């Protein structure tokens, strides 16, 4: 039996693909209408080498749109010179404060420009469950909304008790394991919770699209290193290749590295203050208007949101009008916060 199910929500201005693992969200892929194609995972472009920093073993290249990408100076890239035109592929999407990472495919000619976009959202997320039917409609929208909530949460309950808190920083992502109230043998309870935490954290890190250095603060001491390593290998198998697992320290800290690939979900949805961005609020408002419009085919809809969100909604209004017709209005309301909106009918 296939353990994974797939949901696709093509909404105004944004499409979201959700992979569910045994009924829990495992991956959330978000594609927005204004995403720069050259910056997306798998995109191939002609790039221009702008700067080479030998001390960092990196080159910085212009992709033709969006921020410069980083090109590690390894293999054939070691011989690059500033000003060279090369064909590259994006292998890690940009994240806050850091550009995309690209790899060299070969020499090229001409100005920076996109040659081929990366795989579509449908191609990307169906690859996680080949042959599985894709569910769309209201059920998919509910799955995507729930996946967003889970991706943005910090604390997550564990089956059987206990919890984990997942918090990314600039340097690493910390996973704090908490036993909670436990009865019976405390040592056995700690072991069970630690093993459960590894499995759940692996799923949630994929959902949040977090990689790099991952640090687990485990419960207790005198850990069974072999059992933890076996659990880690199984839990992170679908993140291979590139996962590296370290030993448990005497302080009960376990470290591993997981390859970065897609942009973290929280960075897509939120500003640095962790509140929803104006664009995210605008797209949520448009989905709400679509939902209300389909529920009441004759209603005139009014959406209110902060001025920044109202401005962010403008590029996507025509998409919603194609679905509902011109029976909705979006009004800027300075009394609302950036992440708030209201919908009324008349």
Please state whether beta strands 301-305 and 328-332 pair in parallel, antiparallel, or not at all (unpaired).
parallel
**Considering 204, 231, 265, which residue would you say is the last residue of a domain?**
265
**Considering 237, 265, 293, which residue would you say is the last residue of a domain?**
265
Answer yes or no: do 173 and 245 share one domain. yes
Range of the domain at 139: 4-35+121-146
Higher pLDDT, 186 or 338: 338
Average predicted confidence (pLDDT) for the chain? 93
Asked whether residue 271 is domain-assigned, the answer is no
Higher pLDDT, 113 or 1: 113
Answer yes or no: do 141 and 10 share one domain. yes
Residue 330: pLDDT above 50? yes
**What's the chain's Rg over C-alpha atoms?**
23
Q: What pLDDT is stored for residue 181 in this prediction?
A: 67
Helix (H, G, I), strand (E, B) or coil at 40: coil
Query: Nearest-CA neighbor of 129 among 277, 244, 7, 261?
Result: 7
Do 286 and 320 meet the contact criterion of CB atoms below 8 Å apart?
yes
Answer yes or no: do 178 and 243 share one domain. yes
Q: Give the model's confidence band at 183: pLDDT under 50 very low, under 70 low, under 90 confident, else very high.
A: low
Answer yes or no: do 138 and 11 share one domain. yes
Q: Give the model's confidence band at 310: pLDDT under 50 very low, under 70 low, under 90 confident, else very high.
A: very high
Answer yes or no: do 23 and 127 share one domain. yes
Q: Give the model's confidence band at 160: pLDDT under 50 very low, under 70 low, under 90 confident, else very high.
A: confident
d(CA 264, CA 30): 10
Q: Which pair of tokens denotes residue 78?
A: 């070691």
Element (H, E) at 123: helix 121-126
Task: Name the region of 222 (left: φ>0; alpha: ψ -120 to 50; beta: rest).
Answer: left
Buried b (16+ CB within 10 A) or exposed e, 254-288: bebebebbbbbbbbbbbbeeeebbbbbbbbbbbbe
Please state whether beta strands 163-168 and 85-92 pair in parallel, antiparallel, or not at all (unpaired).
unpaired
Tens digits of per-residue pLDDT, 49-84? Answer: 999 999 889 999 999 999 999 999 988 888 899 999
Answer yes or no: do 170 and 88 share one domain. no
Do 71 and 45 meet the contact criterion of CB atoms below 8 Å apart?
no
Tens digits of per-residue pLDDT, 32-46? Answer: 999 999 999 999 999
pTM for this entry: 0.92
Structural domains counted in the chain: 4
């Amino acid at each position: 039996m296939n353990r994974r199910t797939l949901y696709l929500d093509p909404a105004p201005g944004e499409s979201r693909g959700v992979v569910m693992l045994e009924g829990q969200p495992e991956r959330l892929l978000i594609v927005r209408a204004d995403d720069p194609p050259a910056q997306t995972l798998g995109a191939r472009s002609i790039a221009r080498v702008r700067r080479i920093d030998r001390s960092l073993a990196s080159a910085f290249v212009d992709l033709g749109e969006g921020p410069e990408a980083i090109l590690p100076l390894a293999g054939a890239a070691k011989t690059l010179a500033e000003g060279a035109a090369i064909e590259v592929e994006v292998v890690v999407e940009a994240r806050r404060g850091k550009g995309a990472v690209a790899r060299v495919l070969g020499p090229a000619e001409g100005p920076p420009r996109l040659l081929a976009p990366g795989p579509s959202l449908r191609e990307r997320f169906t690859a996680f469950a080949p042959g599985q039917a894709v569910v769309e409609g209201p059920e998919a929208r509910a799955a995507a909304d729930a996946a967003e909530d889970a991706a943005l949460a910090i604390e997550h309950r564990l089956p059987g008790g206990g919890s984990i808190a997942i918090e990314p920083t600039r340097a690493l992502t910390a996973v704090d394991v908490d036993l909670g109230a436990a009865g019976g043998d405390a040592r056995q309870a700690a072991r069970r919770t630690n093993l459960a935490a590894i499995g759940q954290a692996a799923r949630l890190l994929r959902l949040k699209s977090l990689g790099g250095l991952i640090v687990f603060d485990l419960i207790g001491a005198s850990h069974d290193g072999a059992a933890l390593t076996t659990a880690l290998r199984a839990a992170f198998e679908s993140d291979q290749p590139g996962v590296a697992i370290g030993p448990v320290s005497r302080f009960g800290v376990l470290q591993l590295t997981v390859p970065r690939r897609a942009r973290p979900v929280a960075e897509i949805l939120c500003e640095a203050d962790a509140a929803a961005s104006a664009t995210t609020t605008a797209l949520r408002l448009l989905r709400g208007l679509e939902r209300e419009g389909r529920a009441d085919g004759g209603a005139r809809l009014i959406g209110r949101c902060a001025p920044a969100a109202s401005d962010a909604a403008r590029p996507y209004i025509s998409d919603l009008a194609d679905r509902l017709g011109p029976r909705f209005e979006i009004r800027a309301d300075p009394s609302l916060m950036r992440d708030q909106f209201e919908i009324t009918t008349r």
